Amino acid sequence: MQHKRKNVKEKDSFKSATVFLKKFFEFEESKPLTALIALFIGSSIISPHFLTWYNQRILLLQMAPLAMLALGEAAVILMGSIDLSPGSVMALSGTVAAIALVYWHMPVGVAVVVGMLTGALCGLINGLLVTKAKIPSFVATLAILVAGRGMVLIITGGTPVVGLKPFTFLTSDIAFLPSMVWIAILATIFTFFLLRLTKIGREVYAIGGNEDAARYSGVNADLTKVIIFTMAGVLYAISGLMMNARLEVAYPWTGWGYELDAIAAAVLGGVQLTGGVGSTLGSVIGAYILTLITNILILLGVNPYYQWVVKGAILAIAATVLTRGLRYVK
Amino acid sequence: MVENVLKAENIVKKFPGVVALDHVTFDLKKGEVHGLVGQNGAGKSTFVKILNGIYNPDEGRIILHGKEVVIKNPMEAKKLGITLVHQEVMLVPHLTVAENILLGKMPLKSKFLVDWAAVFDYTEKVLKELGANIDPRLKVKELSVGEQKLVQVARALADKAQILCFDEPTTALTPMEKDSLFEVIRRLKNAGKSVIYITHYIDEIFDICDRVTVLRDGKKIATETVSEIKPEEVVKMMLGREVSSFYVAKKKRITEIANKKPLLVVNNLSTIPEKAHEVALKNVSFKLYKGEILGVVGLLGAGKSELGKALFGIEKIVTGRIQMKGKDITIKSPLDALKYGILYAPENRQVEGLIPEMSVKENITITTLNEISKFLGIIDMKKEREISLKWVKDLNIVTPSLNAKVSNLSGGNQQKVVIAKILQTKPKIIIFDEPTMGIDVGAKVEIRRIIANLSEQGISVILLSSDVEEVLSLADRIIVMVKGRVTREMVNKGISKDEIISLICKVEVEKVAA
């Protein structure tokens, strides 16, 4: 009798555990989160240096700018578009802010605003190219990728802008963490709730899910696209400012190739490239995974060139898991 | 007795929310052109896609030359000698005719190099056999649509096809191109090949086919020998006759309407189609009164959908005037139409009506996000629940929960979600495009009842339907469309189904007679 009761109890706890797991995997972010936890535990085991406060702090500092790019990129991809301009926009915004501070002797606060406006303008142009000129987002943002980088090189003459000490308020600690980490956390919460709880967020998912149906339902898809591209531009600009703070120099080649990291972060985070499925929170998890991989490989003393191969392999594996069940893809 | 090349027995194919094929049995003889007709959603394309391995059937078996076969994919179908000539031109435009014909099976010399001489010799020969005067060295993009169709046929022959399935091959062809395609089909027939010919043009059946099988709502209605049947009979079978209790008889309000001013006046509306398969509207005029149901009947290709889309700002209007309550209005986009309270329930719910990844709740409120969002555009989740729950109850939408993905619902319930999101905007005019097509009979009755109720509530309805009995039972007035024109406008009083059928296929029947 006693024995039997114990058995039932065990069964119950087993049942509640499966229910919990089932519930957990209903969340869109559960797969990337599981991968992240696994990588985190694995890294803690292989390297004694990984799970130290010092290392985790560096990891977060490295991750914050990428997280900002991933947030903007994810919002754009959720609409079924794509943005190739994050790297160039972050560089241009950061450089303009640096020039405003150093050459135009503006207060740092104003320089920050100027940088963010630069990002907003780039995003606005992206949005208008897509909705008004009706250029597919891949091509429109490719144009900004190229032209944006050109602008950076023109205004800097190809040489770095130095003396960006005032920007380091972004790396200084507030409540145990660098302020830019807090900014990234706030931006994550903001975009997550913007997309999940507000009218425009709902419209983003509707456009990504089925643009025809959304338009036939009275969604002003063009307006939504312009707003989201512009918002993404601002997020990239903040990323550029974070880079200024971290390096105290604005390099003209900052963010070169970062658009690929941003897209990879979104995909790793479960955002479907066709749009309509995923969340910005997922993309931040993706950004964390990418940064963690770099970090652990460095800790293990692996030749930095291998990082790219490992990242590529992980992206391919993740994408395979995510596209299971599709007949074929392009 | 001619031998059966192919026999398909009790084929069943289900898609989420709809039974596309319901125990369809079909046979094909050697050297036969077998027509397959039916309205949109009847299951014609699904059936040939199963024969070609693009879909796999849920039930049933396929017997080829007396042996049962399982056709898993298009490659296998090709090996078995079955090819599909797609409705759209499926060729690589930047490659030559010859390369397209021999794509994937280029003759080689010394194992790696393409034997170009053999390529052109062979393709010239195949094209000649077809009686097609096309230079195999030309790029496909330089050919007309009709010539491209012939290249597709040549490619099928290069695959050693014994059974060729044509899916609506004449949609984008000129009359002359159509003639040469028919000539090619006759040659194929004489060479002992079998042809399955899908169409919704009745006259083509009588031009080219030996036998015809009629499908409706996924079921086979009949197989007849063409020489022993009249066009009207085929049309009747296509359009169907359900048990009369499945139709909802609405009290007609003809006398009330006669004294009122029209709500909407459409004058000489003409459009340019954006897609190849669409029909141009030509000088369409009609009036719509408050609270009436205006039935629009016509076969596929009559321009019914295009009319609905033009009024909703999707189809491009070139000329014409639309007046609402006596004032001119311009409708350039769905946003404009919504502003005037004009809404459209599309024929293709999955593609144009719903956002499949979103929940029932989110699909219902998508039209009225302003109404349910508060300060800073934050959505009032409680209000959203209340609104969608109300519609789920009012329209009897069967769903596991408000949060269930809309793509998991049955066709009838999906249609109700579309109606709910439209009604939520408090519309003045609703355009229903084939509202009961492809859904089960029970749901059809419910949808018809909902439409009848709307008109009671003073909402004007434009009912675009190829189900003549549906229109006769619901509409107050009826307009008939043939090939983009309105050919008749009448009050729905004392008209018989046969009269309407003869009106909607008038042009085609005349052509057959001539």
What does the pLDDT look like over B272-328, one tens digit per residue?
887 766 788 999 999 999 999 999 998 777 889 999 999 999 988 999 999 999 999
- CA B146/CA B89 separation, integer angstroms: 10
Say whether pLDDT at B95 is over 60.
yes
% of chain A at pLDDT higher than 70: 93
CATH class, range A31-322? mainly alpha
DSSP string, A111-125: HHHHHHHHHHHHHHH
Three-state SS string over B198-224 comes to EECCHHHHHHHCCEEEEEECCEEEEEE
Would strands B460-465 and B284-288 be described as parallel, antiparallel, or unpaired?
unpaired
Residue of B nearest to A220 (CA): B335
The lowest-confidence range among A1-5, A175-179, A322-326, B343-347 is: A1-5
Say whether pLDDT at B242 is over 70.
no
Residue of B nearest to A205 (CA): B358
The lowest-confidence range among A151-155, B385-389, B436-440 is: B436-440
Q: What is the pLDDT of residue B254?
A: 64
- CA B30/CA B193 separation, integer angstroms: 6
Which chain A positions have a beta carbon within 8 Å of B353's beta carbon? 213, 216
Is A172 within 8 Å of chain B by CB?
no
- Whether this model's ipTM surpasses 0.90 comes out as no
* Record: contact B355-A206, CB cut-off 8 A: yes
The lowest-confidence range among A15-19, A57-61, A78-82, A225-229 is: A15-19
* Record: contact A218-B338, CB cut-off 8 A: yes
Q: What is the pLDDT of residue A46?
A: 93
Query: Mean pLDDT throughout B200-211?
Result: 87
Residue of A nearest to B341 (CA): A218
pLDDT digits (tens, 9 = 90+) for B58-78: 999 999 999 999 999 988 998
pLDDT digits (tens, 9 = 90+) for A121-146: 999 999 999 999 999 999 999 999 99
Is A218 within 8 Å of chain B by CB?
yes
The lowest-confidence range among A23-37, A124-138, B465-479 is: A23-37
Say whether pLDDT at B118 is over 60.
yes
Which fold would CATH assign to domain B252-341+428-514? Rossmann fold (3.40.50)
Q: Which residues contact A52 (CB under 8 A, 6 or more apart)?
A: none
* Record: contact B377-A277, CB cut-off 8 A: no
Which residue of A197, A210, A215 is in closest CB contact with B354?
A: A210
Q: What is the pLDDT of residue A218?
A: 93
Q: What is the pLDDT of residue A243?
A: 96
* Record: contact B369-A203, CB cut-off 8 A: yes
% of chain B at pLDDT higher than 90: 53
Name the band, by pLDDT with cuts 50, 70 and 90, for residue B169.
confident
Name the band, by pLDDT with cuts 50, 70 and 90, for residue A183.
very high
* Record: contact B377-A276, CB cut-off 8 A: no
Say whether pLDDT at A299 is over 60.
yes
Best-predicted range by mean pLDDT (A25-34, A95-104, B134-143, B201-210)? A95-104
Is A305 within 8 Å of chain B by CB?
no
pLDDT digits (tens, 9 = 90+) for A251-269: 999 999 999 999 999 999 9
- CA A116/CA A172 separation, integer angstroms: 20
Query: Mean pLDDT throughout B133-148?
Result: 87
Q: What is the mean pLDDT of chain A?
A: 91
Strand partners, B322: B266, B329
Name the band, by pLDDT with cuts 50, 70 and 90, for residue B513.
very low
Is A221 within 8 Å of chain B by CB?
no
**Residue B471 corresponds to which amino acid?**
V
Q: What is the pLDDT of residue B258?
A: 63
- CA A97/CA A82 separation, integer angstroms: 26
Which chain B positions have a beta carbon within 8 Å of A220's beta carbon? 335
How far is B305 from chain A, CA to nearest CA, in Å? 14
Query: Mean pLDDT throughout B226-233?
Result: 88
Which residue of A198, A209, A220 is in closest CB contact with B355?
A: A209
Strand partners, B165: B84, B196
Residue spans of the domains in chain A: they are: 31-322
Q: What is the mean pLDDT of chain B?
A: 88
Q: CA-CA-CA-CA torsion for A36, A39, A44, A45, nearest 10 degrees?
A: 150
Which chain B positions have a beta carbon within 8 Å of A197's beta carbon? 378-379, 381
Say whether pLDDT at B121 is over 60.
yes
- CA B59/CA B37 separation, integer angstroms: 22
Say whether pLDDT at B350 is over 90.
no
Q: What is the pLDDT of residue A2?
A: 47
Query: Mean pLDDT throughout A258-283?
Result: 92
Give which of A199, A203, A217 to mutate to test B binding, by max B Cβ within 10 Å: A217
Which residue of A199, A212, A214 is in closest CB contact with B373?
A: A199
* Record: contact A216-B366, CB cut-off 8 A: no
Query: Mean pLDDT throughout A158-164?
Result: 93
Q: What is the pLDDT of residue A79?
A: 96
Query: Mean pLDDT throughout A279-306?
Result: 92
Strand partners, B26: B8
Which SS3 state, helix, strand or coil, does residue B115 take? Answer: coil
* Token pair belonging to B446: 């419910």
- CA A266/CA A278 separation, integer angstroms: 9
Q: What is the pLDDT of residue B244?
A: 61
Is A223 within 8 Å of chain B by CB?
no
The whole model's pTM is what?
0.79
Contact B370, A199 (CB under 8 A): yes
Residue of A nearest to B418 (CA): A217
Query: Mean pLDDT throughout B210-223?
Result: 91
In the block, tokens 């929170």 appear at: A281
Question: Which one, of B344, B271, B323, B295, lies nearest residue B478 by Cα?
Answer: B295
Which chain B positions have a beta carbon within 8 Å of A202's beta carbon? 362, 366, 369, 379
Q: What is the pLDDT of residue B512?
A: 46
Which chain A positions have a beta carbon within 8 Å of B346's beta carbon? 216
How far is A202 from chain B, CA to nearest CA, in Å? 8
Q: Which residues does B contribute to its contact with A (CB < 8 Å)?
A: 312, 314, 333-335, 338, 344, 346, 351-358, 362, 366-367, 369-370, 373, 376-379, 381, 421, 425
How far is A280 from chain B, CA to nearest CA, in Å? 17
The lowest-confidence range among A206-220, A248-262, A306-320 is: A306-320
Query: Mean pLDDT throughout A275-301?
Result: 93
- CA B169/CA A292 separation, integer angstroms: 56
- CA A72/CA A191 separation, integer angstroms: 9
Query: Mean pLDDT throughout A234-244?
Result: 97
Is A326 within 8 Å of chain B by CB?
no
* Record: contact B352-A213, CB cut-off 8 A: yes
pLDDT digits (tens, 9 = 90+) for B3-53: 789 999 999 998 776 788 999 999 999 999 999 988 767 888 899 999 999
pLDDT digits (tens, 9 = 90+) for B252-279: 776 566 667 889 999 999 998 877 667 8
Give which of B314, B351, B359, B366 to mutate to test A binding, by max A Cβ within 10 Å: B366
**Ramachandran angles phi, psi of B247, nearest 5°:** -100, 145
Q: Does domain B4-239 have CATH number 3.40.640.10?
A: no
Which chain A positions have a beta carbon within 8 Å of B351's beta carbon? 210, 212-213
* Record: contact A277-B338, CB cut-off 8 A: no
B129 vs B5, more confident: B5
Say whether pLDDT at B338 is over 60.
yes
Give which of A204, A216, A220 to mutate to test B binding, by max B Cβ within 10 Å: A216
Provide CATH 3.40.50.300 ranges for chain B.
4-239, 252-341+428-514
Question: Which one, of A100, A8, A1, A69, lies nearest residue A255 by Cα?
Answer: A69
Which residue of A216, A219, A277 is in closest CB contact with B344?
A: A216
Q: Which residues contact A66 (CB under 8 A, 6 or more apart)?
A: A239, A258, A261, A262, A265, A287, A290, A291
